[in-house]
Amino acid sequence: MIAKRQAIFGLQATAPQRRACLAPGKAAALARPPTVAMAASQQQQQQQSQPLVASRANSVSEWIETNLGSKVTKGGGVGGGSGWSSATIYTVEDGRQFFVKTARGMEALPMFTGEALGLQAMYDTHTIRIPKVYGFGELDGPGLKPSAFIVMEALNIRGRADQAELGRRMAQMHLATPKDEKAAAGYFGFPVTNTIGGTVQPNPWTKDWVEFFREHRLGHMLRLAEVSDNITLYQRWPVHTPELESCRSGATCRISRGVNPSFHHQNSISGHLLYQIGVLHGDVWSGNVSAADGEPCIFDPATYYGHHEAEWGMAWCCSLGPAFWQEYHKIIPKEPGWEERHQLYLLYHFLNHYVLFGSSYKYECVSIMESLVAKL
Please determine, for residue 278, whether its predicted confidence score (pLDDT) is greater than 90. yes
Name which of 35-49, 103-117, 293-307 the model is least confident about.
35-49
- Which one of the listed residues 140, 283, 293, 300 is annotated catalytic? 283
- Same domain? For 12 and 55 the reply is no
Q: Which of 144, 162, 156 is closest to 86 using CA atoms?
A: 144
Contact 288, 14 (CB under 8 A): no
The DSSP string of 314-349 is GGGGTT--HHHHHHHHHHSPPPTTHHHHHHHHHHHH
- Same domain? For 168 and 238 the reply is yes
- The confidence band for 184, taking pLDDT boundaries of 50, 70 and 90, is very high
Residue 44, pLDDT score: 54
Please determine, for residue 119, whether its predicted confidence score (pLDDT) is greater than 90. yes
Residue 253, pLDDT score: 34
Please determine, for residue 181, whether its predicted confidence score (pLDDT) is greater than 60. yes
Rg of the chain on CA atoms, in Å: 21
- Same domain? For 177 and 220 the reply is yes
Q: Which of 109, 178, 182, 105 is closest to 145 using CA atoms?
A: 105
- Same domain? For 196 and 293 the reply is yes
- Same domain? For 120 and 262 the reply is no
Q: Mean pLDDT over residues 287-298, rounded?
A: 95
Q: Mean pLDDT over residues 295-308, rounded?
A: 97
Please determine, for residue 112, whether its predicted confidence score (pLDDT) is greater than 50. yes
Cα 161 from Cα 374, distance rounded (Å): 39
283 counts as catalytic: yes
- Same domain? For 113 and 188 the reply is no
- Same domain? For 331 and 219 the reply is yes
Name the domain boundary from 153, 186, 209: 153
- Same domain? For 260 and 124 the reply is no
Contact 369, 240 (CB under 8 A): no
User: What is the rounded average pLDDT for all residues in the chain?
Assistant: 79
Residue 222, pLDDT score: 86
Cα 300 from Cα 281, distance rounded (Å): 8
Cα 276 from Cα 28, distance rounded (Å): 7
Indicate which CATH number applies to the domain containing 113.
3.30.200.20
Cα 144 from Cα 186, distance rounded (Å): 41
Name the domain boundary from 118, 153, 188: 153
Q: Mean pLDDT over residues 106-116, rounded?
A: 94
Quote the number of domains for the chain.
Answer: 2
Q: Mean pLDDT over residues 167-172, rounded?
A: 98
Name which of 19-28, 161-170, 205-214 the model is least confident about.
19-28
- The confidence band for 374, taking pLDDT boundaries of 50, 70 and 90, is confident
Residue 255, pLDDT score: 35
- Same domain? For 335 and 363 the reply is yes
- Same domain? For 129 and 252 the reply is no
Name the domain boundary from 153, 172, 202: 153
- Same domain? For 298 and 357 the reply is yes
Q: Which of 15, 352, 355 is closest to 196 using CA atoms?
A: 352
Please determine, for residue 359, whether its predicted confidence score (pLDDT) is greater than 70. yes
Residue 122, pLDDT score: 98
The pLDDT tens digits of the residues spanning 208-263 come to 998 899 899 998 998 888 776 544 555 555 444 332 233 222 222 333 433 444 55
Indicate which CATH number applies to the domain containing 180.
3.90.1200.10
- Same domain? For 113 and 255 the reply is no
What residues make up the domain containing 344?
A: 2-36+159-373
Residue 232, pLDDT score: 56
Residue 143, pLDDT score: 72
